């Protein structure tokens, strides 16, 4: 790694405060900036057509099937969007948050250790699922086929197919019959 690259990455890390810079090269850093610009557009509350929000998320690396609706202000992880899979006929209402990583502050990392506290994991939203407004999905979670996640729920573990879940943390409310 060149001296200029090291200096640049250290400067960027200082600008982030306690957030940990994941990019390890200038090329990755520039790619990350491009991705964050796309994510700002895709995740804004600007009145963009849902098809454009889907296209922007695909450009960021999110795997998205056909006939997917992404509402206003949805925030799909900006650090590892490639870990998100959204299958066909899924609907994300407004202000849904999907996280594929969690990385605590420097003091917590020093106390617990880097690997103990860092969480990276895929999120999969299966075919036909509906996530209502203000839902939060944490890393390493799969939402089952044709399931409904009620407004304001925080999903911390896998959701089976054909159920409705809600609450903090989300629990099964009832089964869905076809």
Residues in the chain: 178
Which residues, including other chains, have CB under 8 Å from residue 49's CB and lie 6 or more apart?
Answer: none
The verdict on whether omega for the bond into residue 159 sits within 30 degrees of 0, i.e. cis, is no
Write out pLDDT tens, residues 110-131: 777 666 666 789 999 999 999 9
Write out pLDDT tens, residues 49-97: 888 889 989 988 899 999 999 998 899 988 888 999 999 999 999 899 9
Q: Where are the domains positioned within the chain?
A: 23-175
Rounded percentage of the chain residues whose pLDDT exceeds 70: 83
CATH number of 23-175: 2.160.10.10
Q: Minimum mean pLDDT among 118-127, 128-137, 149-158: which range?
A: 118-127
Write out pLDDT tens, residues 13-23: 676 665 566 66
């Amino acid at each position: 790694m060149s001296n200029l690259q090291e200096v640049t990455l250290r400067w960027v890390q200082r600008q982030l405060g306690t957030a940990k810079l994941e990019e390890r090269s200038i090329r990755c850093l520039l790619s990350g900036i491009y991705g964050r610009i796309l994510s700002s557009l895709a995740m804004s509350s600007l009145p963009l057509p849902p098809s454009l929000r889907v296209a922007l998320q695909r450009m960021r690396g999110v795997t998205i099937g056909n006939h997917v609706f992404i509402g206003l202000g949805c925030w799909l992880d900006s650090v590892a969007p490639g870990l998100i899979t959204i299958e066909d006929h899924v609907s994300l209402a407004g202000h849904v948050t999907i996280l594929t990583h969690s990385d605590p502050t420097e003091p917590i990392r020093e106390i617990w250790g880097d690997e103990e506290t860092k969480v990276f994991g895929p999120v999969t939203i299966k075919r036909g699922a509906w996530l209502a407004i203000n839902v939060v999905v944490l890393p390493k979670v799969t939402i089952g086929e044709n399931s409904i996640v009620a407004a304001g729920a925080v999903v911390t573990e896998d959701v089976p197919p054909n159920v409705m879940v809600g609450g903090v943390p989300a629990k099964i409310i009832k089964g869905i019959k076809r």
